[in-house]
Amino acid sequence: MMTMLFLSALLVILYTGMATWRRRKLPESVSAMVYELPQKWQWVWTAWLALVTALMAPALTEAMPSAWYSITSHACIICLAMTAAMPLIPGSHNTAHYGLGIAAGVLSQVCVAIMCSWWLLLWLLFVAVVFYTVFAKKGTIFDGKGVFVMEAVCWMSLMGCLFGELI
């Protein structure tokens, strides 16, 4: 299970790194990274998020303290999988995609709160980025990247919590 979680984390880091390197700036969101691929290859983003979710799912389900709480982890996994199945479509409203992504993020943090709420302190990083961006005299790399930063904090707190629970 630890190997699957490690592979999930590695896939996230590699794809995000590739998208950042290709554009030479942070993506606006994880979903926006689909546009780093040529149109005929954008299905790879769907497969990537589905694989990341499938590799993380056993660890998340196992780490929950009881069957009652595992409902939250299952809902998070389902929301992530459905987000993967509905990638962004240019010129469309993408409401379902955004709603499922937000639900997955919130549910992931509920899982973190259930397993080890100390990991929620990582949200102080987001607060620091917000203050840095607001009070910077000139533009920063975080301008317009708030969604990505929030997704990154959700992911870091969840991964930290899961690795901590499984070790």
116, 131, 153, 154 from 125: Cα distances, Å:
18, 10, 8, 11
Is residue 86 pLDDT above 80, yes or no? Answer: yes
Asked if 157 and 113 touch (Cβ cutoff 8 Å), the reply is: no
Tens of pLDDT along 106-136? 999 999 999 999 999 999 999 999 888 888 8
Top pLDDT among 35 and 73 is at: 73
Is residue 21 pLDDT above 90, yes or no? Answer: yes
83, 92, 119, 122 from 115: Cα distances, Å:
24, 37, 9, 15
Of the pLDDT bands very low, low, confident and very high (cuts 50, 70, 90), residue 64 is: very high
**Where does the chain have alpha helices with state H?**
2-23, 43-63, 70-85, 95-116, 123-135, 146-166
Is residue 159 pLDDT above 90, yes or no? Answer: yes
Is residue 76 pLDDT above 90, yes or no? Answer: yes
**Amino acid (one-letter) located at 36:** E
Of the pLDDT bands very low, low, confident and very high (cuts 50, 70, 90), residue 139 is: confident
- Domain around 27: 2-166
Of the pLDDT bands very low, low, confident and very high (cuts 50, 70, 90), residue 142 is: confident
Please give the share of the chain, as a percent, with pLDDT higher than 90.
Answer: 71
> So what's the pLDDT on residue 17?
95
Give the C-alpha separation, 16 to 10, whole Å.
10
Phi, psi of 132 (to 5 degrees): -60, -45
User: How many structural domains is the chain composed of?
Assistant: 1
